[in-house]
Amino acid sequence: MTLVGKKAPHFSASAVIDGGEIVDKFSLDQYIGKKYVVFFFYPKDFTFVCPTELHAFQEKMAEFETRDVAVVGCSTDTAESHYSWLQMARENGGINGVKYPIVADTDKTISTNFGVLAGEYDYNEQGELVADGPMIAYRGLFLLDKDGVVHHQLVNNFPLGRNVEEALRVVDALRHFETKGEVCPANWKEGDDAMEESFDGVAAYLSNH
């Protein structure tokens, strides 16, 4: 399942913002027309690889902000679990100091709609609803433009942490394409030469932006 080229699925859910405030009805819709969004999923609070990723995104927040990018995390844990983890010191395995929003996908609909839920619900022979799989999110990452359209999608299995520098590189590539109409070849980074290319997909995109 790919969401690239499509509007990101809408959701409204509880989230923890600013490292310690639980809010209801948090939505990515608030960024439409204002910011790009890097929306990423991680499997579980109070684990081992996950805090390294959450801190890595926080450490690069100034670079995301200069690019007009909002960073938002999400897992299937509750908002209360997120809050507790945010109060725990980094040296103890916590994520204290993380300030970007962390969404609580407790009913697992967000991770399902984004195609990153590991497992699914089914009915057994007795007609009972049962879960097949761990029912937590893979390490999914999605880059949305200011119209809420997905341009980049990456999904890693549980053991494989992501590269935040690569997320920044892809943001730069999208911004370069939008501003200059040039496409970005393999291993491109900001400051490198890009390429002029004309085909229907690019022309259609530029005509709408």
What's the rounded Cα separation, in Å, for the pair 209 and 193? 23
pLDDT at 13: 98
pLDDT at 205: 55
Short-list 108, 114, 92, CA closest to 39:
114
pLDDT at 206: 52
pLDDT at 199: 54
**Region 16-28: what's the mean pLDDT?**
98
- Beta-bridge mates of residue 13: 26
Model confidence pLDDT, tens digit, residues 48-87: 999 999 999 999 999 999 999 999 999 999 999 999 999 9
pLDDT at 98: 98
Model confidence pLDDT, tens digit, residues 155-188: 999 999 999 999 999 999 999 999 988 898 899 9
Res. 200: pLDDT tops 60: no
74 is annotated as an active-site residue: no
Q: For residue 194, what pLDDT band results from cuts at 50, 70 and 90?
A: confident
* 136 Cβ contact list (under 8 Å, min separation 6): 43, 44, 75, 76, 111, 117, 118, 119
Lowest-pLDDT range of 42-46, 81-85, 104-108, 190-194 = 190-194
Q: Residue 151 corresponds to which tokens in the numbers above?
A: 């341009």
Model confidence, pTM: 0.92
Residue 52 CB coordination number (10 Å): 12
**Region 198-204: what's the mean pLDDT?**
53
Pairing of strands 21-26, 150-156: unpaired
* Pairwise pLDDT comparison (131 vs 5), residue with the higher score: 5
Catalytic residue among 38, 50, 69, 136: 50
In the 8-state DSSP scheme, what is residue 7?
Answer: B
Q: Domain residue spans in the chain?
A: 13-162
Domain 13-162: CATH superfamily is Glutaredoxin (3.40.30.10)
